[in-house]
A and B are shown apart, each in its own frame.
Chain A
Amino acid sequence: MTCAEFQAVLPYIIDNGGNAEQQEHLRNCEVCSGLVNDLKYIAEQAKLLVPMMEPPKKVWDGIKTSLEQEGLVKDSARGSLLSSSARTRWGPSNWLLPIAAALLVAVGLFYYHNNIAERQAPTEANSAMAGDTANVAGSSATAVQSASMGNEQDRQILSEIASHAPSLSQAYQEDLQRVNAYIADAQGIVARNPDDEDSRQALMEAYQQKAMLYNMAMRHSLP
C-alpha cells in the first residue's frame, strides 16, 4: 500500500484504525504515522479547549429587555404580580386592583359575547331593529358598569402613583385618558356595528391595554 492510497482513506479509518493492510502501512511508514499522530493530537487538544469567552454585559441586557417586552418574565424581586409587601402597604381593599384588571377583560368578554347572543335573537327586520336597540342599551349599560368600575380604580391607581412614583403621575394620567377614550370609541363602534368582528376584537384589545396599564402601574408603585 502506498502513502497516497493510505491517506486517501485516512478520513474514514482514523477512528477505527482500518484493516490489516492499512494498519501494517501505518506501523511501517514514518510519514503517515507522523501525520496520524498530528491529527489525533489536534483533536485531543481541541477537546481541552474550555468555553472561556465571556459575552459582554449588553448581551444579557438585550435578553432582559426582550423578555420584559414579550411579557415572559415577572420580576422575582417583586414576587408575583402582587407581593406581600404591596398587599400590606396598599391595604386590604387595594389588592383588588389586579382583580379589577382581570375584571376589565372579563367585562370586555361579557360585552363581546353579549353582542353575539343578542344578534342571534332577531327574526324580522323590526325584531332586528329592536335587537339593535337592545344591543345599544345593553352595551351602554355594560359600558356604564365598566366605566364606573374603571373610574374608581383609575382614581386609586393615580393616587398610588402620585404617592410612590410622582414623576410618572402625569404620564399615567394621560395614558389612562387615552385608553379610556379608546375603550369608549371601541364601545361606540361595536354598538353601531355589532356584526363587525374587527370592532369587537378592537374593544377586547382596548380592555386588555387598560389591564396592562394597571399592571405596569402596580409595578411602578412597588418599592
Chain B
Amino acid sequence: MRPEKGELTQAKKTLVPGLTEADAIDRAKRGDAESFEALYGMHKRRVYSLCLRMTGNTAEAEDLTQEAFLQLYRKIATFRGESAFSTWLHRLAVNVVLMHLRKKGLPEVSLEESLEPQEDGPKKDIGARDNVLAGSIDRVNLERAIESLPPGYRIIFVLHDIEGYEHNEIAEIMGCSIGNSKSQLHKARMKLRDLLKTSRAEKATRN
C-alpha cells in the first residue's frame, strides 16, 4: 500500500511538543488518555475520509470512524511495529467499513463477470470520438462523482485509486479474484468518466 503522502518516519513524527508518535503509541498501550487523543488527532481525517468515501453517508462514516478508533485502542497492545502504524490503522479501518457494508448487504463482486452492459454500467466508448478529460477535472467534482458511484464500484475505486491498495490486496480483502478487481475498477473509472463529462457539459450549457 502506498505510504501516506509526506509521511515522516514513525519515530520522528511529533504530535505535541516532546511527544512523538512512537511515544504516544507506547503510552497509549499503558492507557494514557492524552496519548489516545494525540493519535486520534493525527489520524482522524484519513480514517474519516476513508469511511465517508466508502459509504457515501455522513452518519455512517461518523459511527464507523468511532468504531475504528475504539478497535484500535482495544487492540493497540498487539501492535508490534512490524508495519507503519498508519498502515495498521488504515487496514483496521477498511475492515471495519467492509464488515459494516457486508451486514448491510454489500453487493458482492460476481465471480462470473458478465460482458453485457448493466443498467448502471458505463457506456462503452467503441468507435466514438469525444473530448478528452485531461486538465478539466477539479477535485470537488471528482469527489461528487465518486459519491455518485454505485457502492460496489465505489469501494474498489476508493481502495485502489485513492487509498493505494494493489489488486491482489483488494482481492484478498473483498474475497474476489484479481481479474474481478481489475474489471470492477475499470467500470468504476468508466462510470466516473461519464459522470465527469456530463457534469462538464452541463456546466458549459449553463455558461
Contact = CB atoms under 8 A, between A and B. Distances in A.
Interface of A: 3-4, 7-8, 10-12, 14, 30-32, 34-35, 37-39, 41-43, 45-56, 58-60, 62-64, 66-67, 70, 72-77
A60 B37 contact: yes
Interface of B: 2, 5, 27, 31-37, 40, 44-46, 48-50, 52, 61-62, 65-66, 69-70, 73-74, 115, 124-130, 132-134, 137, 139, 142-143, 146, 157, 161-162, 164, 179, 182-183, 185-187, 189-190, 192-193, 196
Contact of B193 (A7, A11, A42, A76): A42
A67 B46 contact: no
Task: Give the dominant DSSP class at B's interface.
Answer: helix
A43 to B, nearest CB: 5
Given A42-B196, A67-B73, 10 more contacts: A30-B129, A37-B133, A38-B134, A45-B139, A48-B139, A49-B142, A55-B48, A63-B40, A63-B70, A77-B34
Contact of A43 (B35, B128, B161): B161
Contacts of B50: 51
B33 A73 contact: yes
A175 to B, nearest CB: 24
Contacts, number: 141
Contact of A76 (B32, B125, B164, B186): B32
Contacts of B186: 10-11, 14, 39
A41 B134 contact: yes
Nearest to B113: A11
A45 B49 CA distance: 16
A196 to B, nearest CB: 33
Contact of A73 (B31, B130, B132, B192): B31
A74 B126 contact: no
A58 B62 contact: yes
Contacts of A34: 129-130, 132
Contacts of B66: 59, 62-63, 66
B126 A3 contact: yes
Contacts of B74: 70, 72
Contacts of B190: 39
Contacts of A41: 132-134, 137
18 contacts: A3-B126, A7-B124, A31-B127, A32-B125, A34-B130, A37-B132, A37-B133, A39-B190, A41-B134, A42-B137, A47-B161, A48-B139, A52-B45, A55-B44, A55-B45, A59-B48, A73-B36, A76-B35
B138 to A, nearest CB: 9
